[in-house]
């Protein structure tokens, strides 16, 4: 890759190498897209679509002067690349080599205020369809990052990759299991499963051992599972429920104890230990 190619363009061109001249259309956000990149992809017989920044090099200067009311759109053409400007809550700028003109299309949704059907440019609708999964991932990862701040750049890259791996695992888990699970709940459950299998290393310590209780006893304060009496309800002062372990063994036996975190009735101590250590 030539040295004068910006990194945002180089990333797209490098990743698209196996797919050039095969009739694909690549969608991207405004960090990558630019008129120069789209023209390079046109030469490689590959269509492209994406939002862009109005101050990008070779973007039409007319867009800065173009004043639009909400719902209005403008379009300009240059060397096989079509530039769109659409006014929503704010100005939205897009580039495309797949769309040849400005086509307004009904979305099937009604405006909250006017109750009229919302109309958008087809290029905007197609972009939203293509980028929906990526934008959703970015939104989730921005809300629940593993680490928020790190001084070293390589650490940010590492933890961002970990975030992406975790989110992809979450998506696959929902697809395979068919369960509807919130992302933050999935993260907590996964962390608990990992911690349950972690064994702390035994380090040799110098000097005499401490005579008091070990501070390691506090390590499970936030994620540990502890027995708790089933709280009373309006019907029963000392209620009981079927033990989960016994029920899975097709035995009907009730217990007045439950796991305060899992909210599952269990006998103490055997069923409680089995439920949290063995798959039954």
**Which three-class secondary structure string do you get for 22-41?**
CCCEEEECCCCCCHHHHHHH
Query: What pLDDT, on the 0 to 100 scale, is given for residue 217?
Result: 60
Q: Is residue 26 part of a domain?
A: yes
Q: Structural domain tally of the chain? A: 3
Pick the most confident of 137-146, 190-199, 246-255. 246-255
Structural domain contains residue 121: yes
183 in helix, strand or coil? helix
At residue 64, the pLDDT reads 83
Q: What is the number of other CB atoms lying within 10 angstroms of the CB of residue 67?
A: 9
Comparing 155 with 39, which gets the higher pLDDT? 39
Assess whether pLDDT exceeds 90 at residue 16: yes
- Please check whether residue 1 lies inside any domain of the structure: no
Q: Are residues 132 and 169 in the same domain?
A: no
Question: Which of 143-157, 217-231, 264-278 tops mean pLDDT?
Answer: 264-278
The answer to whether the CB of 105 falls within 8 A of the CB of 95 is no
Quick one: pLDDT band at residue 82, thresholds 50, 70, 90?
A: very high
Residue 242 pLDDT level (bands cut at 50, 70, 90): very high
- 128 with 162, same domain: the answer is no
pLDDT score at 15: 92
Do 12 and 84 lie in one domain? The reply is yes
Q: Using pLDDT thresholds of 50, 70 and 90, give the confidence band for residue 140.
A: low
Structure-model confidence comparison of residues 219 and 19, the more confident one: 19
| pLDDT of 147 over the 80 cut | no
More confident call, 273 vs 208:
273
Q: Is the pLDDT of residue 136 over 80?
A: no
204 located within any domain: no
How far, in Å, CA of 49 to CA of 95, rounded? 6
Residues 135 and 188 in one domain: no
Whether pLDDT at 214 is above 70? no
Distance CA 226, CA 142 (A): 32
Domain shared by 132 and 172, yes or no:
no
pLDDT digits (tens, 9 = 90+) for 92-114: 999 999 998 888 888 888 877 77
**Given this model, what pLDDT does residue 141 score?**
67
Given a cut of 70, whether residue 91 has pLDDT beyond it is yes
Backbone angles phi, psi at 126, to 5 degrees: -65, -40
pLDDT of 243 strictly over 90: yes
Same domain assignment for residues 71 and 173: no
Per mean pLDDT, which range of 51-65, 91-105, 215-229 is the poorest? 215-229
pLDDT, average across residues 152-170? 82
The winner for highest mean pLDDT among 118-132, 190-204, 208-222 is: 118-132
In a domain, 220, yes or no: no
Looking at residue 265, what DSSP letter applies?
A: B
Identify the CA nearest to 71 among candidates 85, 54, 52, 86. 86
The reply to whether 217 falls in a domain is no
How many Cβ atoms are within 10 Å of 244's Cβ, its own excluded?
Answer: 21
The answer to whether residue 265 scores a pLDDT higher than 90 is yes
Average pLDDT, the chain: 83
Residue 263 pLDDT exceeds 60: yes
Residues 130, 31 share a domain:
yes
Q: Which of 95, 113, 140 is the last residue of a domain?
A: 140
Residues of the chain with pLDDT > 90: what percent?
31
Distance (Å, whole) CA 29 – CA 22: 22
Domain that holds residue 259: 228-277
**Is there a single domain that holds both residue 239 and residue 128?**
no
Residue 207 lies in a domain: no
Same domain, 99 and 159: no
Q: Is the pTM for the entire model greater than 0.75? A: no
Q: Please indicate, yes or no, whether residues 88 and 179 belong to a single structural domain of this protein.
A: no
pLDDT at position 142 over 70: no
């Amino acid at each position: 890759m030539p040295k004068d190619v910006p990194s945002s363009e180089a990333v797209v061109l490098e990743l698209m190498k196996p797919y050039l001249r095969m009739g694909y259309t690549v969608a991207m956000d405004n960090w990558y897209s630019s008129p120069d990149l789209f023209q390079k992809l046109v030469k490689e017989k590959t269509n492209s679509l994406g939002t862009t920044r109005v101050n990008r090099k070779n973007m039409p200067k007319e867009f800065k002067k173009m004043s639009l009311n909400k719902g209005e759109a403008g379009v300009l053409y240059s060397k096989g690349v079509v530039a769109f400007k659409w006014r929503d809550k704010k100005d939205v700028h897009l580039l495309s080599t797949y769309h040849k003109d400005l086509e307004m299309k009904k979305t099937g949704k009604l405006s909250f205020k006017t109750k009229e059907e919302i109309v958008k440019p087809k290029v905007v609708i197609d972009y939203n369809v293509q980028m929906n999964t990526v934008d959703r991932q970015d939104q989730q990862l921005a809300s629940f990052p593993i680490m928020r701040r790190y001084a070293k750049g390589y650490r940010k890259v590492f933890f961002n990759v970990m975030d992406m791996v975790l989110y992809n695992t979450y998506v696959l888990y929902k697809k395979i299991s068919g369960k509807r699970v919130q992302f933050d709940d999935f993260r907590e459950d996964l962390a608990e499963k990992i911690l349950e299998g972690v064994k702390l290393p035994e380090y040799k310590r110098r000097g005499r051992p401490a005579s008091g209780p070990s501070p390691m006893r506090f390590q499970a304060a936030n994620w540990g599972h502890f027995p708790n009496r089933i709280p009373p309800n309006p019907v029963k002062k000392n209620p009981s429920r079927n033990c989960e372990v016994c029920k899975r063994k097709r035995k009907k036996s009730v217990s007045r104890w439950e796991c305060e975190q899992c909210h599952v009735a269990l006998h103490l101590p055997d069923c409680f230990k089995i439920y949290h250590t063995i798959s039954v």
